A = this chain, B = another copy of it.
Amino acid sequence: MLVVSSWLIIYKVNKVRDSQKNNQYIWLDGTGELSDVVISSRVRLARNLSNYKFVRCLGYEKLKEIASKVLGVIKDNDFFNDYHRIDLSSVGEIEREVLREDHLISYEFSKNYENRLVIISNDNCVSIMINEEDHIRLQCLSSGLQLDDAWNRANELDTVLDNELDYAFSPELGFLTACPTNTGTGMRASVMLHLPGLVLSGDINNVLNSLSPHSLAIRGYYGEGTDFIGDLYQISNGITLGRKEEDFIETIDRVTKQLVQYERDAREKIFAKNRNSVEDKIYRAYGVLLNNRSIDSVEAVKLINFIRLGVYYNLFKGVGYPEVNTLFVRTQPAHLQKIEGKLLSPQERDVARSKYIREWLNSLN
């Protein structure tokens, strides 16, 4: 097990709720361009050190060596003054799940946490996973459509690490990665889109099909292979090889702007055509969220989806995109258990979720 005693574990269960400092989800704050449709932007880079096999082929000693190398750079560099280390094997299951729900670590990383650690910026926008599938996975999150911002931050961070570490890089292939699908730039850029207008208008499938020439990957909120619960769609580059990072980002940026226009048109169209029916859906969702006594996470996301659409139509006083965006994250199982300070059964979570959402909605009025 990695032991680096000079690092404090400061991202604690009881801090996230109480401390505003550890509780800012800058990437959910509704700033950034087109945030009525674009919840967040993300750029992730996969890097490996040369002279080491990939993570899945290494044992404890080598993984520790890699972690020490990366930590050595971070520890000695003022660039990382506002970063914290979390040794995954030193925190409980709830905390690991919270990090995953916050999109700061991957599912795989949260489940196989031995010899793994993550470095996180104070604003929860940057995370560096060490010994995930690749030796280093760094990602930057931004609110709204700010792919350039996320890319610049990721690139800057990558340069700082690159100056001190010896990356596995091939002049022909680019950055070498454990999975060939990441080789090349090692970059995945993505945006999380909220598309209830296109879903309600029935145009969503046509619109998504029209994206196929761009080789984009489309996923749900909970990642690959899941349904598009809450009308949330993650769009990312499907390939990483053969083009510059800026080209991939430019494509996603351009496609996103087009999707935003389609979505806004759909929202206006359905409101003009069936205003009462749209309002009915939104207010019913509000009524259920404000009154239920037990709600599972899937239903919650489906209903919060309509509240977010209601924000677009100015139906709710005191509710804005930052509040609703945050609600998508806070109503997930681990966050609820963190709030309650204990492990909860699924039934208990549904009750806790109900209580959290009701108090939250009431606090906004």
Contact = CB atoms under 8 A, between A and B. Distances in A.
B290 A351 contact: no
Interface stretch (A159-167, A291-299, A323-331): A291-299
Contact of A287 (B277, B288, B351): B288
A283 interface: yes
Interface string A155-190: 000000000000000000000000000000000000
Contact of A283 (B277, B280, B283, B291): B291
A279 interface: yes
Interface string A261-287: 000000000000000110110011011
Contacts of A351: 276
Nearest to A293: B280
Nearest to A294: B280
B279 A284 contact: no
Number of copies: 2
Interface residues on A, range: 10 to 19
A293 B281 CA distance: 8
Contacts of A290: 287, 291
Contact of A284 (B276, B277, B280, B291): B291
Interface string A335-364: 000000000000000010010000000000
Interface of A (DSSP majority class): helix
Contacts of A354: 280
A354 B290 CA distance: 18
A265 to B, nearest CB: 23
Interface string A130-142: 0000000000000
Nearest to A291: B287
Interface centre among A290, A293, A354 (most CB of B within 10 A): A293
Contact of A291 (B286, B292, B293, B294): B286
A91 to B, nearest CB: 31
Contacts of A284: 288, 291-292
Nearest to A358: B283
A97 B291 CA distance: 35
B276 A283 contact: no
Contacts of A283: 291-293
A293 B287 CA distance: 11
A332 to B, nearest CB: 20
Given A276-B351, A351-B276, A287 B292 contact: yes
A195 to B, nearest CB: 22
Interface in A290-312: 290-294
Nearest 4 pairs of A and B residues by beta carbon = A287-B291, A287-B287, A280-B293, A283-B291
21 contacts: A276-B293, A276-B294, A276-B351, A277-B293, A277-B294, A279-B293, A280-B292, A280-B294, A280-B354, A283-B291, A283-B292, A283-B293, A284-B288, A284-B292, A286-B287, A287-B287, A287-B288, A287-B290, A287-B292, A288-B288, A290-B291
